Structure 1
């Protein structure tokens, strides 16, 4: 038992550090006043953010609200599912009319979804993703143009991650393109991983929430890191080395969408995500992370391989396509 005491003490200290960093990340994400500051500095940013709110909030969520509050009750009144709402009880006694009404009502509801909500959702998804890049760009430019070098004392170049020296010219461009392609593949595989863990018995929902928090946190900071020129390996190393902070940063967004239906969650996500992108743009994660470390006088919690599975599967996929390409090249040369 005596030999376990140091281990228990270390575990307790690490758990406390993880909780404090999680809370610090949560607090950083909730500093939404930074969005107001950045929007006041950039008319383009204010306009693009307003467009995002108009499309996803007023049009999409408004359509869902009107449908549930007015269209569905109207269909329920026209095509009731209880005999008490039908004048002729004899006509209703067989029950066939209720089944017909139920079928017609369900069919009309599905038509609304097929011809309005699903197309609107896809249109909103595509257009919002285009706007997110503009929002992040205008937010980053607003910080660079500001007379002060900080937002609430946080530097514009808020990331102190060491930047790898890249070759200039065509070689540097190809490296950047290669990183972007690999990043897309990696995050796509990670998204599928997030979706899959939701089906794990008992702990699936907890794992799904945690991985979603990391995913949204990474997406929020990725725009800033792209504009800052931070290489992909440095981003992943920094992210996995400070996993507790980023789990906290992504939690508010996941909490807001976790309990709603997929369509409502998608609309809420489209509204909230640009806010967290701007919050990440105006934040300095290193300052928030290093301050507690000075108090603890320790190196940190250690690196957690969050993207290990996604990285492994992505490398296997790239190796497979590379092998296919080499075989095709060799076949063409032989002919």
Structure 2
């Protein structure tokens, strides 16, 4: 009995230091996560880069102004006009207490959405997507001629493809995979919003990652960073990118879908330029060994999206599927 008690004391004596070490490691990890999240949030708020790049490139200023004009003045202005003038006027002309008037009023409002808002919404998505790419391209060109930041070390991770038709096919396949992956991830983000209790919080975090990836993807494309490198890099520095995407989501999280879209369509070019002018890659390496030394644990953010995307790609003809598999294994 006495020996059993002594053995238990020895075991407890060993467990207590182990628990202390685990708690210390957990505190260090949380400290690292908090630091990187704050750094990402701070990077997103460096909107002075937008002013610098706009002054250096008239094309950046023009495209940014066009985004504001279309999505701010026309799209959000139409919503404001509908809610503050048209609907109150219809409610006054066609009172609620009369059934036929109510039906006519709702029909007119829905007709306004069908004939104006939904076509304008689609038109805005198409045109804004083209403008976003132009803003990133002109902003990147302006940044290359300025002293805002440099991209030392990124060119070591550019896409190495064979020349000729094979390289073109691999490039197309990689683009198809990237588009499919991000669309599946978008559906995943949308689905989390319906989860009880933790759905809103999880949706906020996933939206932050999604917008952060969209913002940095332009620069990675211009720097020809390989897709597998950028995904590995993003999942390794997940805390930084969660912080970077947070201001984007905070600006739209509590509004209706149409209003949220209009606000994001105005703000997104600003965050794209902020990401383009960021020097985060100088401080956070693309190299796996350096990330391991920094104590960063990779978080498989795109695990589900990757599995679904690869399953969908497996439905392609076998020769194209083999090319995609070879590219991912490199």
Q: TM-score, normalised by structure 2?
A: 0.86
**Distance in 1 between the 2:233 and 2:168 partners?**
23
Q: Distance in 2 between matches of 1:243 and 1:325?
A: 31
The corresponding residue for 1:58 is 73
- 3-state DSSP class of the match of 2:197? coil
Quote the RMSD (CA, aligned, Å): 2.0
Q: How does 1:122-141 map to 2 (within 5 A)?
A: 122-141=122-141
Counterpart in the other structure of 2:47? 32
Q: In 1, distance between residues paired with 2:271 and 2:277? A: 10
SS in 2 for 1:273: helix
Structure 1 residues 64 and 316, CA, compared in 2 at 3 Å: closer, same or farther? Answer: same
SS in 2 for 1:182: helix
Identify the residue that residue 6 of structure 2 maps to in structure 1.
none
Task: Please give the alpha-carbon distance, in whole angstroms, between the structure 1 residues aligned to 2:198 and 2:41.
Answer: 22
Which one of the candidate residues 196, 200, 204 is aligned to 1:201?
196
Q: Shift of the alpha carbon at 1:161?
A: 6.3
CA contact (8 A) 1:56 1:271 kept: yes
Aligned mates of 2:92, 2:284 — CA distance in 1:
57
The match for 1:227 is: 222
Distance change in 2, residues 1:52/1:157 (3 Å): farther
- The answer to whether the 8 Å contact 1:26/1:250 transfers is yes
CA change 1:79–1:288 in 2 (3 A) is: farther
Hey, what does 2:119 align to over in structure 1?
119
Task: Indicate how the Cα distance of structure 1 residues 209 and 158 shifts in structure 2: closer, same or farther if over 3 A, else same.
Answer: farther
Match in the other structure for 1:18: 33
Q: Where in structure 2 are there 5+ consecutive unaligned residues?
A: 1-14, 286-291, 322-330
For residue 235 of structure 1, report the CA deviation from its aligned partner.
0.4
The yes-or-no answer on 1:314 pairing with 2:309 is yes
Aligned to 1:329: none
Q: 1:325 Cα shift?
A: 8.7
Match of 1:172 among 131, 150, 167: 167
Relative to structure 1, is the Cα distance of residues 161 and 256 closer, same or farther in structure 2, using a 3 angstrom cutoff?
farther
Of 302-311 and 163-172, the range deviating more from structure 2: 163-172
Deviation at 1:138, TM superposition (A): 0.6
Offset, 1:288: 4.9
User: Distance between the aligned counterparts of 1:67 and 1:239, measured in 2?
Assistant: 41
- The structural deviation recorded for 1:301 is 2.3
Deviation readout 1:150-172 (Å, 9 max, x if unpaired): 31xx3245847633533333333
| Aligned residue among 18, 22, 41 for 1:7 | 22
Does 1:181 find its partner at 2:176?
A: yes
Which residue of the partner structure matches residue 298 of structure 2? 303
Indicate the residue corresponding to 1:241 in structure 2: 236
State the shift of 1:81 in Å: 2.4
Q: 8 Å contact 1:158–1:285 — kept in the other structure?
A: no
String of CA shifts for 1:128-159, please: whole Å, max 9, x gaps.
Answer: 0111111111111111233xxx31xx324584
- CA gap of 1:243–1:81, structure 2 versus 1, over 3 A, is same
**Contact kept? 1:38, 1:139, Cα under 8 Å:** yes
The answer to whether the 8 Å contact 2:155/2:224 transfers is no
Do the aligned residues in 2 keep the contact of 1:25 with 1:247 (CA within 8 Å)?
A: yes
Judging changes above 3 Å, is the alpha-carbon distance between structure 1 residues 216 and 189 closer, same or farther for their aligned structure 2 residues?
Answer: same
Q: Does 1:190 align with 2:185?
A: yes
- Would you say 1:276 and 2:271 are equivalent positions? yes
Matched length = 300
How far off its partner does 1:176 sit?
A: 2.0
User: Equivalents in 1 of 2:179, 2:160: separation in Å?
Assistant: 22
Q: Deviations over 1:114-133 (max 9, x none)?
A: 11111111110111011111
Local SS of the residue matching 1:257:
coil
